[in-house]
């Protein structure tokens, strides 16, 4: 995704610097100033917690490269002739693009332009017919009874939930199109009733199913095509918004969308089990915070939890702003909405519910909160698996490694794999 912009960046920078060597010193000073300004700005923002954790060093390097190009481009725009000015303008734009894509690559979360913009990148595919047989449960763990047919696909299917397949958004009109992962076992003529996983990604971001689908497909390949049917749903409305997982007049009925409309859609259109003990709510980062909040508040709906490097609680990174904007300044109401408060409000409701918490060992911002959440969930009665991901921070392998480990841990609890 960054090869062509990189080439353009190098060519334009060379043209601006070498077109009139006599001005090399001026261009060099501009480039260095641009790099320094961007470095200092990023360091200050990192110190203030703008990035919700340490800024990856590779991201900082890409930012410095962008600063070099922007600084050189500004000098070129103030120079002559017009060709050099035009090259300077283009260099500034290309530098911004290269820096953005490079920083995105350093984070390792999104891999397409559409995903970077929070737009659904997958095509809409007609859903398989919901079969009565799939809705019938005999209480047996699927791994004991399922026999994969010879014509079962080798891989699952990923599609957008848009157009005629869109989830009704109700009073959350900003909800972006979700995505669906169907494992191989869901694509056969007579599919079994599979567990449901509703998953939310982080902020900024959107309902990109790429990483989750990869992890689920790997699990399915090792378990005769069995994996949860997964919906990746939107809890934000836009990459720069954070409704903190709740219904509000400002952002819409986010909680109702995730806890009512999405499950209703799944029941009506997908071949999922009717057993809520095998309905799992999950998420990464911001989505992980929402997942824990929803699992705590709705134990009758969600029988399991999958929390990948989640915030300790919704709004944890901007408490004062959240209290003022979404709770009308009522801090007591904010605290009552925290997952730990919801756990206390539903004593005895979580017995036997599986909960998987993962975090990067090099994540000083979110790791400690995940450990506290795992302890709180265990004390409330959840069957907790707490899994640190060695060497991971908050991005990249914290997500991919966390998903792989969490799904392996979850499989036996939802009947898709033998214990141990």
Task: Tell me the residue ranges of DSSP E strands in 70-223.
Answer: 157-161, 178-182, 196-200
Q: What is the pLDDT of residue 119?
A: 66
The span from the first CA to the last CA of the chain, in angstroms, equals 41
202: which residues sit within 8 A by CB, 6+ positions away? 109, 283, 284, 285, 286, 287, 288
Average pLDDT, the chain: 87
d(CA 261, CA 121) in angstroms, rounded, equals: 23
Residue ranges of domains in the chain: 3-107, 122-414
For residue 90, list its beta bridge partners.
none
Q: What is the pLDDT of residue 392?
A: 92
Task: Tell me the residue ranges of DSSP E strands in 227-298.
Answer: 229-232, 247-248, 252-253, 279-284
Maximum distance among all Cα pairs of the chain, rounded to whole angstroms: 82
The percent of residues above 90 in pLDDT, for the chain, comes to 63
pLDDT class for 352, splitting at 50, 70, 90?
Answer: very high
| Closest of 289, 299, 285, 278 to residue 227, by C-alpha | 278
Q: What is the pLDDT of residue 156?
A: 98
Q: Is the pLDDT of residue 21 over 60?
A: no
Q: What is the pLDDT of residue 263?
A: 98
| Closest of 387, 420, 245 to residue 307, by C-alpha | 387
Q: Is the pLDDT of residue 398 over 70?
A: yes
d(CA 44, CA 48) in angstroms, rounded, equals: 6
pTM for this predicted structure: 0.83
* pLDDT per residue as tens digits for the range 259-298: 999 999 999 999 999 999 999 999 999 999 999 999 999 9
Give the single-character DSSP code of 259.
Answer: I
pLDDT class for 317, splitting at 50, 70, 90?
Answer: confident
Supply φ then ψ for residue 141, to 5 degrees. -70, 130
pLDDT class for 135, splitting at 50, 70, 90?
Answer: very low
Lowest mean pLDDT among 148-157, 225-234, 257-266, 315-324: 315-324
* pLDDT per residue as tens digits for the range 61-71: 777 787 777 87
Q: Which residue has the tokens 């756990």?
A: 343
What is the arithmetic mean of pLDDT over 125-129? 90
pLDDT class for 379, splitting at 50, 70, 90?
Answer: very high
d(CA 387, CA 389) in angstroms, rounded, equals: 6
Q: Is the pLDDT of residue 413 over 80?
A: yes
Q: Which is more confidently placed, 253 or 131? A: 253
- 400, 215 contact by CB (below 8 A): yes
Supply φ then ψ for residue 248, to 5 degrees. -155, 155
| Closest of 179, 51, 184 to residue 114, by C-alpha | 179
- 73, 92 contact by CB (below 8 A): yes
Supply φ then ψ for residue 235, to 5 degrees. -110, 5
Enter the tokens of residue 115: 């995903």
Q: Is the pLDDT of residue 54 over 50?
A: yes
- 354, 414 contact by CB (below 8 A): yes
pLDDT class for 22, splitting at 50, 70, 90?
Answer: very low
Lowest mean pLDDT among 122-126, 288-292, 387-391, 399-403: 122-126
What is the arithmetic mean of pLDDT over 304-320? 94
Q: What is the pLDDT of residue 131?
A: 74
Edge-first strand listing for the sheet containing 304-308:
157-161, 178-182, 229-232, 196-200, 279-284, 304-308, 354-360, 383-389
Structural domain 122-414, CATH architecture: 3-Layer(aba) Sandwich (3.40)
């Amino acid at each position: 995704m960054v090869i062509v912009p990189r080439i353009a960046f190098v060519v334009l920078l060379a043209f601006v610097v070498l077109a009139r060597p006599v001005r090399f010193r001026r261009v060099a000073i501009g480039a260095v100033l641009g790099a320094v300004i961007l470095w200092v700005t990023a360091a200050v923002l990192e110190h203030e917690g703008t990035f919700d954790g340490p800024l990856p060093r590779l991201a900082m390097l890409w930012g410095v490269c962008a600063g070099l190009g922007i600084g050189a481009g500004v000098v070129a725009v103030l120079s002559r002739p017009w060709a050099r000015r035009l090259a300077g303008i283009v260099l500034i734009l290309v530098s911004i693009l290269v820096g953005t894509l490079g920083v995105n690559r350093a984070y390792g979360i999104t891999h397409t332009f559409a995903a970077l913009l929070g737009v659904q990148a997958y095509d809409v595919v007609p859903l398989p017919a919901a079969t009565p047989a799939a809705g019938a449960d005999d209480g047996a763990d699927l791994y004991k009874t399922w026999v994969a047919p010879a014509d079962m696909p080798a891989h699952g299917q990923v599609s957008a939930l848009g157009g005629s397949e869109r989830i009704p958004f109700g009073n959350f009109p900003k909800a972006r199109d979700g995505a669906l992962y169907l494992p191989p076992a869901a694509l056969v003529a007579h599919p079994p009733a599979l567990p449901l996983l509703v998953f939310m990604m982080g902020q900024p971001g959107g309902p990109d199913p790429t990483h989750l689908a990869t992890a689920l497909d790997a699990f399915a390949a090792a378990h005769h095509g069995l994996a949860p049917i997964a919906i990746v749903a939107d809890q934000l409305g836009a990459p720069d918004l954070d409704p903190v997982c709740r219904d509000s007049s400002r952002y819409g009925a986010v909680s109702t969308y995730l806890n009512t409309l999405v499950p209703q859609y799944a029941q009506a259109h997908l071949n999922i089990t009717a057993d809520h003990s095998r309905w799992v709510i999950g998420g990464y980062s911001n989505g992980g915070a929402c997942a824990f909040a929803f699992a705590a508040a709705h134990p009758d709906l969600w029988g399991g939890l999958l929390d990948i490097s989640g915030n300790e609680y919704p709004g944890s990174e901007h408490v004062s702003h959240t209290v003022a904007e979404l709770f009308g300044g009522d801090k007591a109401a904010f605290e009552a909405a925290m997952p730990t408060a919801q756990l206390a409000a539903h004593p005895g409701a979580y017995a036997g519910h599986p909960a998987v918490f993962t975090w990067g060992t090099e994540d000083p911002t979110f790791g400690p909160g995940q450990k506290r959440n795992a302890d709180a969930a265990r004390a409330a009665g959840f069957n907790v698996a707490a899994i640190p991901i060695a060497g991971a921070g908050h991005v990249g392998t914290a997500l991919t490694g966390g998903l792989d480990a969490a799904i392996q841990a979850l499989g036996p609890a939802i009947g898709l794999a033998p214990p141990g």
